[in-house]
Structure 1
């Protein structure tokens, strides 16, 4: 009987341990499956948010923040200047300490150009944020004042996040889009953060690599001390962009002026590529100071989508630090699915399974 009693006690003890372990696993699963934390500190009305239950994507707000859904499609955010930044960082689960020495020793700079979809921007920032990095936010000057106020309020909660000192009225495919990056670069070189690379993003991007994976990718032998500006010599089909003059019209679109341009300065060979890049700090300093770079920038003012020829052209100059004179489309730091190519070049986001070994960096679904 004594032996049976001991066996019964052992069984009950093991049963208790199992129940405790299962409860812990269940609670953790609920945490990971819970909705994303609150963005209540933002002051913005998002017209494109799909119908949801009242604020069901937002948990209870921390003191100093308030969320109010005005109807099934519009979410309005009210900013309070006494917002508690510590609670904000906690509620949104921002990473507030470097996750590895490897990342700490290789800080990155990010340029993020935004004009809409505030919730998307906050989720992007939270996903890429690390305290050793630095972030320059360029807000389109045409954006609503409440939107600008919300972004500035958010930036005050982080010492390494700031709004560009000069903000452009950005026009798609216009020179203003290139100038926005230049403005941020001028601010970033003054930053106390000794960043190694700068990456530019749009507000609708989202990472498909961790910060550590990006750091390791950029330090691979092929890319160590080398810029990534994917592109090729300007094909005949793209020559219209730089052979004729264009102008930005009312901040809405770019239109041809009907006049031909002169040849590029310093007999430069013009390249065509992506507007997105990973650039070394030395290259950025070169862009801001070198006469050839400045002359090319000025010549590009009345071209079409100059950000798609400016960076890649300079990166094919032998004088440019970190150049890749022989480079073509290699080193793409983003994966882009163009919406008008769905059904031809790709099968859409819901069908295609992303392979992280193929697509590097950031995904941006573009119209």
Structure 2
């Protein structure tokens, strides 16, 4: 009996040893196999380093400590938005959007924004990020002729926000055409129905960028000069502009606006209105927007303007000089610092030249234009391009974010920082 038990124990030990050997062998084989597979697969490429800040930014950014340098935290914005794996739950954090009101003053005075866009996806994201606050509301009008993939990307973006939406109707926008005016009106119709209690609406294009923080915008629009009033810089239509509304024009959809024949005269303006000339950009009260959408006088002027040249440059400012218009500015002129623009024909008078390049007589800014922009202290700057002197926007964006966070009366969250300090180049 004792011999049998001894033999069984030896067999048990032999089986255990054999099993242990098999487990060890299998583990070694698996490790070798996985190592070979990993060696055969190409390594995942590291994301490219973010574009460093231009040396000229040093004049506008706070000096980093010691030998540290400022490093941008993201440089793959377009790829992020167009990704099929876009996670809305992470977007605000990953792209450094402000996630709560930065002061009670701003929370009590929500703004509305109209953004008309057709290209430059990254610029749109960076503009929205700069002006975004959760108490505000944003209507984005995407040109009907924009590529489908662009519209889909913008839809991806706005779909992640409760207070950002696409205009319910898109126009095929033509430069200087009635369609440009209609794009704004489409968004106004949507904003008038918004449950957000916005106080004033500001319109922008995709190549604008703010020079004031949201708090500064709120204070400026509530200042003694503009509290309860509309901002539509402009004057009585000068003679050299008269052709725009004296003759009939035809909009060649998506192309240009052309004079009909040799010059077909229009009927006089409805209601014996005095036509004014000004900018296409504004800051309007909510009551004025309701007046624009509901008043027969505003509707008649709109219909009369359909065959004029660049009607958005006379429509808003003309209505703002009507006595019954809420928040009117009857005695006003060019007051209102809405846009900082370097026009080619103002070189040597208003500014000392464009350090980028002129497109349609408007300067596309370079980094050396930033001191002039900052000194102008307007609400917004126009224009920027993503592939032409992109360092200018990098620098201005960081300068703006520093100012915005500096005005905050709440604790700063780490995700709100656009750049960090470090000794080496960081990757996105």
Q: TM-score range by the shorter chain?
A: 0.7 to 0.9
TM-score, length-scaled by structure 1: 0.79
- Offset, 1:360: 1.7
Q: How does 1:116-265 map to 2 (within 5 A)?
A: 116-257=119-260, 258-265=263-270
| Contact 2:233-2:332 within 8 A present in 1 as well | yes
Shift of the 26–135 alpha-carbon distance from structure 1 to 2, 3 Å rule, reads farther
Q: Which has the higher contact order (CA 8 A, sep 6+)?
A: 2
More helix by share: 2
Greater per-residue strand proportion: 1
The alpha carbon displacement at 1:83 in A equals 1.8
Question: Residue 113 of structure 1: CA displacement?
Answer: 0.3
- 2:279 maps to what in 1? 274
Deviations 1:280-325 (A, max 9, x none): 0000000000000000000000000000000000000110000000
| CA distance in 2: counterparts of 1:357 and 1:340, whole angstroms | 20
The equivalent of 2:318 in structure 1 is 313
User: Does residue 1:102 correspond to 2:120, yes or no?
Assistant: no
Query: Residues of 2 paired with 1:208 and 1:358: CA distance?
Result: 9
Separation in 2 of the partners of 1:78 and 1:155?
12
Contact 1:233/1:271 (<8 A) preserved = yes
TM-superposed CA distance for 1:184, in Å, is: 0.1
User: What TM-score do the two structures reach when normalised by structure 2?
Assistant: 0.68
Query: Who wins on radius of gyration, i.e. which is larger?
Result: 2
Q: Helix, strand or coil: the match of 1:272?
A: strand
Distance change in 2, residues 1:90/1:217 (3 Å) = same
Question: What is the match of residue 382 of structure 2?
Answer: 364
Q: Is the 8 A contact 1:37 1:91 kept in 2?
A: no
Q: Give 1:359 deviation, angstroms.
A: 3.3
Instruction: Find the aligned partners of 1:224 and 1:357 in 2 and give their Cα distance.
Output: 24
1:338–1:366 CA contact under 8 A, matched in 2: no
Q: Is the 8 A contact 1:334 1:361 kept in 2?
A: yes
Cα separation, partners in 2 of 1:260 and 1:366, compared to 1, 3 Å: farther
Q: Which runs of 5+ in 2 are unaligned?
A: 1-63, 355-364, 386-428
**Pairing partner for 1:322 from 317, 324, 327:** 327
Match in the other structure for 2:83: 79
Please state whether the residue corresponding to 1:193 is helix, strand or coil: coil
**SS, match of residue 259 in structure 1:** coil
Q: Contact (CA 8 Å) 2:247, 2:266: kept in 1 or not? A: yes
Deviation at 1:172, TM superposition (A): 0.5
CA separation in 2, counterparts of 1:162 and 1:90? Answer: 20
